Structure 1
Amino acid sequence: MLTIGLTGGVASGKSTVQGRFAALGVPVLDADLVAREVVAPGQPALARIAAEFGAGMILPDGTLDRRRMREHVFAHPAERRRLEAITHPAIRARMQAWKAAQTAPYCVLSVAILIEAGMQSLVDRILVIDVPEDVQRDRLCSRDGITTELAAQMLAAQLPRQRRLAAANDVIVNAGDLHTLEACVELLHRHYLDLARRGQPRAAGLRLPASVN
């Protein structure tokens, strides 16, 4: 099966793109949902987080205090790496199991930190949703109600934009309206179906929008 790795910086529009692929009938797995599952109450990863980061990271209902953890790890990069060492192996295992169960011509693994986490081996092609950093920052503050300082920390903690683009097979530049973005996804959908049919996962990439007609 052809597997597409969908990635992009925070507030790039990646979630909108994955939703459009799903609406087109493509199996899509969101790593953010998997990440929530592996730290749910009763999961080994949550117990390790409580042991290593302290009980203060756990809410009274037994769930992870995600906002507090996010603020902590983005302010302390070494702590973020320590958290990822707990969660990433469990996330990878669940993604591999899901991928193995799919039967469609192609599927999409949506992973914001696909490249940073070294998960390229899970996919055949990488689709990057690209957006200027000033647009990311404004979207992030508006969407999450956070300060510009925290937004800047989150952007600084991410893979540099050019390194993400260098790893891409295909790129959507999300600088237009929703209609243009959806048209780009539909064009890529047809492209990926064709690649799957021809068994050519490494064919030349596309950068959109160039022409989406």
Structure 2
Amino acid sequence: MASAPSPFVVGLTGGIGSGKSAVAERFAARGAAVVDTDAIAHALTGPGGAAMAAIGAAFGSGVVRADGALDRPAMRRLAFADPAARQRLEAILHPLIRAESDRQAKTTADHPYVLLVVPLLVESGTYRERCQRILVVDCPEAVQIARVMARNGLAEAEVRAILAAQASRAERLAAADDVIVNDGALEALEPRIDALDRDYRRLAAALAGDNRGRLHGTC
């Protein structure tokens, strides 16, 4: 018997402050299954998280809070000061995030499609093979900086350092199949999200039909 067919997956990405979470919430309200790799990373690095033993062994107690969770500001400073440290952290986290996101995506049979939210989708270079479409949430860099400063209380230089470590706006747009421009009120995005939701449902139904045909041919 062949395995169950894979779901239709839309990879959602965008730079920090672009509004990925707000867009994902609106797709979820329309019935999409949202698998958020940032939320998975937070769980892995929370108190007792599955990644914390390896992180503590790799970086020492200076990046571990008293409750056993990752000290994010300390880890952020270390990672941005030392690219090799960031690579070691990614080598610990990325396989765990991928395994958990794959597990969650396979439990979405009641949803028309999966929205896989990956902040560093373009940078990773490995998610493209897992997604039928890439959706980029885009806005000008000045808007990103203002949003992150207001939301996180970071200085402009800190936000710019984060942006410099991410793919450029042009690189993300070059990888996109679909784009949502989020440079104003969120309410203005509703028609665009409605249209994309219809497109993804149609494409997901077509993929499901193809998968059923293959299963019938191999069982």
Q: What TM-score comes out, normalization by structure 1 length?
A: 0.89
Q: Is the counterpart of residue 149 in structure 1 residue 157 in structure 2? A: yes
Q: Deviations over 1:21-54 (max 9, x none)?
A: 1111211011111001222333442111111111
**Maintained 8 Å contact 1:75/1:153:** no
Find the aligned partners of 2:59 and 2:174 in 1 and give their Cα distance: 35
Q: Is the counterpart of residue 96 in structure 1 residue 70 in structure 2? A: no
Q: Name the counterpart of 1:204.
A: none
**Maintained 8 Å contact 2:49/2:69:** no
Q: Is the counterpart of residue 107 in structure 1 residue 114 in structure 2? A: yes
Greater share of helix: 2
Q: Name the counterpart of 2:47.
A: 41
Q: Name the counterpart of 2:128.
A: 120
Question: Following superposition, which runs of at least 4 residues in structure 1 exceed 6 angstroms of deviation?
Answer: none
Q: Which one-letter code corresponds to 1:55 in the other structure? A: S
Find the aligned partners of 1:132 and 1:125 in 2 and give their Cα distance: 23
* Superposed displacement of residue 151, structure 1: 0.6
Q: Is the counterpart of residue 130 in structure 1 residue 138 in structure 2? A: yes
Q: Which has the larger radius of gyration?
A: 2
Q: Which one-letter code corresponds to 2:151 in the other structure? A: R
Find the aligned partners of 1:40 and 1:59 in 2 and give their Cα distance: 10
Gaps of 5+ in 1: 201-213
Give secondary structure in 1 for the equivalent of 2:119: coil
Q: Which one-letter code corresponds to 1:61 in the other structure? A: D
Query: What is the RMSD of the two structures over their aligned residues, measured on CA atoms?
Result: 1.5
Question: Which of 178, 185, 193 is residue 186 of structure 2 equivalent to?
Answer: 178
Gaps of 5+ in 2: 1-6, 209-219
Q: Is the counterpart of residue 50 in structure 1 residue 52 in structure 2? A: no
Q: What TM-score comes out, normalization by structure 2 length?
A: 0.86
Q: Name the counterpart of 2:214.
A: none
**Maintained 8 Å contact 1:38/1:45:** yes
Indicate the percent of aligned positions where both proteins have the same amino acid. 46
Q: 1:175 to 1:40 in 2, by over 3 A?
A: closer
